[in-house]
Amino acid sequence: MHIVDERLRVHSGGDALIILFSIHPKTRRRALLARLLPPVRRKVRREYRAIADRRAELSEKVADVEPVTVRPRWTRLPGSAAD
């Protein structure tokens, strides 16, 4: 997984997941903890890596469907420079 922020920096894997967490109100607190506390950040990265390492195995269990394309839109993160 990759997320590109407003400054065009690319965030990958667990770091991208932390940014994604910051968007939704129910996971925003976990994102804050992951940004502030290195042990929490390492745990998020480790959990993401564990799932990513099984990607091929997990995708075999999902039926093939036609791809869905959604036009991208910018999402302002809480506390971003534009706020």
Please, what is the angle between helix 13-23 and helix 28-36, to 10°?
A: 130
Please, what is the angle between helix 13-23 and helix 38-52, to 10°?
A: 110
Render pLDDT for 7-38 as a digit per residue (tens, 0 to 9): 888 999 999 999 999 988 999 999 999 999 99
Render pLDDT for 30-77 as a digit per residue (tens, 0 to 9): 999 999 999 999 999 999 999 889 988 888 888 888 877 777 777 777
pTM > 0.85: no
Question: Which residues contact residue 4 at a Cβ distance below 8 angstroms, ignoring those fewer than 6 apart?
Answer: 10, 11
Q: What is the pLDDT of residue 26?
A: 93
Calpha distance 83→79 (Å, rounded): 6
For the chain, domain boundaries? 2-53
